[in-house]
Amino acid sequence: MDKERGFAGYVAALSETLGHADRVEPLGDYCRGLMLSGDRKSVEPMAALVAPQRAGAKHQSMHHFVAKADWSDAAMLAAVREQVLPALGAIEAWIVDDTGYPKKGSHSVGVARQYCGQLGKQDNCQVAVSVSVANERSSLPIGYQLYLPREWAEDAVRRKRAEVPANIGFATKSTIALEQLRAARAARIPVGVVLADAGYGNDTDFRLGIAALGLTYAVGIQSSTTVWAAGHQPLPPHGPWGRGRPGTHLRRNRAHQPIDVKALAHELHARAWRRIEWREGTEGVLASRFARVRVRAAHRNEVRGEEWLVIEWPLAETQPTKYWLTTLPPSIAFKELVRLIKLRWRIERDYQELKQELGLGHYEGRNWRGFHHHATLTIAAYGFLMRARLTGRAKKNSAFRPREPLLRLPPQPKNFIPRGSPRAT
């Protein structure tokens, strides 16, 4: 009963963002359906679980609420944050990530042949970019937007059919992520170090954009990224030639060239490498071999400030496996530096639950609004589960344990077969 009261209060708080009283019931129904047991978290099977004796009417109201109703995803996510962040505790990181959903056909908004992390290859899918706040205990998405491939952004017919807003054009994933970071800063969300993989960290403008927001970062880079390290510095611009103006461009020659981080790793002395443990995993302590060195990112005509280059090279490997650039302070302890960089594991763990347990990728509609409404409601349901665990018996643990249902199924009629069930065909 306490769980039910807690859920009712949570829904009541979120409903303040909806604008119409008749949207409160489908909000609760949809979040409840996402949290109940069920293989498929699309509207029809959820309606059958929530209201088995009047599934048709419930399906209609839930479908309208998610696919058609004009309520704000941003306002709803802000309400979720207000309810959940006090239980989460101190924020250590803002994690930038993207996640893919395999999709058949070509009509669902944003679907295209592109890399899908869930499949580990190029395939037909939708991809969404997100920013989550995180610490070792959990993470919560605070920004979430579909990536619209150029072929979609420039196709007026497909845009109209999928009801893509007029102000949404083509934007790279890094650009979308930076907009989400700006929105988070404007909302005065407690800051953390920005973490991202090399898909974002290789983008110089992305790193510069983070710094311009007054944020620190620890982002992955490719082995071919070039830096200026000790003994590798550009030459100053040419002085004036006769009556001409002095040069403005930094110079390079054979003796003054940046070095790629892979080559730099091979130049490091054996004493530069340390074995560092960063957390307890499911199969024991996680540890590897790391080195760090102060470098400057090699931009064509600008000497950037110093930052840490962190390199991971496990003893069992013949080559370094990962590289990061980070603006975390020069004085930070090496072990703490590695722990923060490795905190990206948190988003991978939580996205697994958002997808597998709560059906983040199960929306079957085709339009822009429905895609984002479904994702927002999935995050809302996840936020309720997170808050319940963090304030309940799991509060003593440093990490979550597998989810247990928090809400009971409503009474079902005898011999009831849910709509959408294979037994109903």
Residues 6+ apart with CB under 8 A from 288: 275, 276, 312, 313, 314
Euclidean distance between CA atoms 162 and 298, whole angstroms: 43
Tell me, what's the pLDDT at 164? Answer: 96
The model's pTM: 0.88
> Could you read off the pLDDT of 366-425 as tens digits, one per residue?
999 999 999 999 999 999 999 998 987 544 444 434 344 445 545 555 554 544 444 444
Q: What ranges do the domains of the chain cover?
A: 2-194+348-424, 217-235+248-327
Euclidean distance between CA atoms 310 and 341, whole angstroms: 9
| Residue 350: pLDDT band with limits 50, 70, 90 | confident
Tell me, what's the pLDDT at 149? Answer: 96
CB-CB neighbours of 405 under 10 Å: 12
